[in-house]
């Protein structure tokens, strides 16, 4: 969301596999409210297989990152999906040391990057608010 924190966070958690994870919740749904969008994070340790996808619904269509290599697009009014292969990341993003080196050399500007400090502070605020919301059952407003 271009470096912007959500307006509010709501969350529910469950302990589904008590015998496997006896001391923690193993399933969470987090709802993020933005001025012009809603984000839903579904996090779980209890799914039968690893799921690492992302879906974005817009006014004119839908896009899903099925995995790190495949994108699926459907435009409004069309019956079929278009499949695209995701572009390979630049070598500088291939590992943390290459990334850090490029930042220190001024080769890249990490301002709105997913690994930037400002972005990670927003992530920490979201997770803290989600934990509070799950405990209290109430929506948490971020400031």
What's residue 31's pLDDT?
98
Q: What one-character-per-residue DSSP string does 90-137 give?
A: PGGGSSHHHHHHHHHTTSS--TT-TTSHHHHHHHHHHHHHHHHHHHHS
What is the spatial distance between Cα 8 and Cα 5, in angstroms, rounded to a whole number?
A: 9
- Tens of pLDDT along the chain (143 residues)? 888 999 999 999 999 999 988 999 999 999 999 999 999 999 998 888 878 889 999 989 999 999 888 999 999 989 999 999 988 888 888 888 999 999 999 998 888 788 788 899 999 999 999 999 999 999 999 98
Say if pTM beats, i.e. exceeds, 0.85.
no
């Amino acid at each position: 969301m271009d470096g912007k924190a959500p307006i509010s966070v709501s969350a529910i958690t469950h302990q589904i596999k008590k015998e496997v994870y006896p001391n923690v919740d193993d399933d969470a749904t987090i709802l993020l409210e933005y001025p012009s969008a809603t984000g839903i994070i579904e996090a779980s340790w209890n799914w039968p297989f690893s799921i690492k996808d992302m879906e974005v619904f817009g006014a004119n269509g839908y896009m899903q990152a099925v995995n790190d290599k495949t994108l699926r697009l459907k435009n409004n009014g069309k019956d079929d999906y278009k499949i695209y292969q995701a572009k390979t990341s630049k070598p500088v993003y291939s590992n943390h040391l290459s990334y850090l080196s490029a930042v220190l050399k001024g080769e890249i500007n990490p301002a709105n990057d997913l690994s930037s400090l400002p972005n990670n502070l927003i992530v920490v605020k979201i997770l803290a608010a989600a934990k509070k919301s799950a405990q209290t059952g109430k929506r948490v407003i971020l400031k």
